[in-house]
Amino acid sequence: MAIRHLNQIELAARWNISHRTLERWRWTGEGPQFIKIGGRVVYRLEDIEAFEANQLRASTAETPTKPAA
């Protein structure tokens, strides 16, 4: 089975956010893990889904847990 990758434009569309937000998150280390090959940045679908699962909350008082490296 092939690993599915999304580029920053596709991920921004999936989450309905600006691609610049993803760029900032990469800079600050806030977003999902990514792969950089040459000048191209892609996100593995499994990393995106893990990041999304980690963002689930029952209340606004909860904070996300750091994913295991």
Q: Determine, yes or no, domain membership for 60.
A: no
Q: Determine, yes or no, domain membership for 19.
A: yes
Q: Determine, yes or no, domain membership for 64.
A: no
Q: Determine, yes or no, domain membership for 38.
A: yes
Encode pLDDT of 24-54 as tens digits.
999 999 999 999 999 999 999 999 999 999 9
Q: Determine, yes or no, domain membership for 62.
A: no
Q: Determine, yes or no, domain membership for 29.
A: yes
How many structural domains is the chain composed of?
1
Provide the domain limits for residue 29: 5-54
Instruction: Give, in order, the Cα–Cα distances in Å from 43 to each of 4, 12, 58, 59.
Output: 9, 11, 27, 28
pLDDT above 90: percentage of residues in the chain: 74
Say if residue 20's pLDDT is above 90. yes
Q: Determine, yes or no, domain membership for 37.
A: yes
Q: What is the overall mean pLDDT for the chain?
A: 90
Bridge partners (DSSP) listed for residue 37:
40
